[in-house]
Amino acid sequence: MALLERVAALLRANVNDLMDRAEDPEKMMKQLVLDMENQLLQVKTQVAIAIADQHLLEKKKKEHEDSAAEWHKKAELAVGKGKDDLARAAIERALGHEQMAAGFAQQIEDQATEADSLRSALRKLEQKLAETRSRCEMLIAQHRRARVVNRANEARQKLETTSSSPGMDRLKLRVIGTEAENAATNDMLREDSLEDRFEALEREDRIEQLLRDLKERQGKTA
């Protein structure tokens, strides 16, 4: 499916590489998130359609199974009455419905496979979208801070070419101080804080506990 191919392309997208190559990183990141949101909506729609189609196929299969059973009963009635011709005709009808039921069974299997693929793509895209949103917010913030630092560097270079009066020296120190603060902020953003690391540990424990609870419930109901 072309839709699944587009989703796969979005899942393979490397946010860092895309941002490095983009002329306008902020615009590119916002467009990437928008593309993912649009594809997510389309996948949700296709999942709903696939499930509805599967239910329809199952309904058709049951109708033919019921018809086949009914014609078998008629064949038995005809045999009981000594009407072999009618019995043969009824059996032929029953076989036709059984063949149609078998055809719908195969379609149901194919439809279930397609629905599972769409559900899997939906889950992966939802996760990728959440990760990309968070990553985009951080990268955009870093990009904006980098521009501030660049402007500070430009200002410092200009100051170096001017006279070194006391007032100019004080301004230079302020610019250098601002630059150092920006650099420190960038360093902190590049590394996970202690709180983030503990939060990740707690999240892992929570996931493991929920998994154990799920296994226990399934074991009790087995």
pLDDT of 159 higher than 70: no
Confirm if 111 and 57 have CB atoms less than 8 A apart.
yes
Q: Is the pLDDT of residue 124 over 80?
A: yes
Say what the pLDDT of residue 161 is. Answer: 62
Beta-carbon contacts of residue 79 (< 8 Å; ≥ 6 apart): 87
Q: What is the pLDDT of residue 39?
A: 83
Confirm if 29 and 3 have CB atoms less than 8 A apart. Answer: no
In a domain, 85, yes or no: yes
Residue 217 pLDDT exceeds 80: no
Residue whose pair of structure tokens reads 């100051």 in the numeric block: 159
DSSP 79-125: HHTT-HHHHHHHHHHHHHHHHHHHHHHHHHHHHHHHHHHHHHHHHHH
Range with top average pLDDT, 3-7, 49-53, 150-154, 175-179:
49-53
Residue 216 CB-half CA count within 13 A? 6
**How much is the pTM?**
0.53
Domain annotation covers residue 74: yes
pLDDT for residue 133: 80
Percentage of the chain lying above the pLDDT 90 cut? 23
Count: domains in the chain: 1
**In this structure, is residue 107 part of a structural domain?**
yes
- Please report where in the chains the tokens 């939802």 appear, as a residue: 126
Count the helix, strand and coil residues of the chain and give each as a percent rounded to the nearest 5. Answer: 90, 0, 10
Residue 29 lies in a domain: yes
106 Cβ partners below 8 Å, 6+ apart?
A: none
Residue 153 lies in a domain: yes
Q: Does 207 map to a domain? A: no
Report the mean per-residue pLDDT for the chain.
78
Residue 222 lies in a domain: no
- Give the domain range for residue 150: 2-189
**Does 47 fall in a domain?**
yes
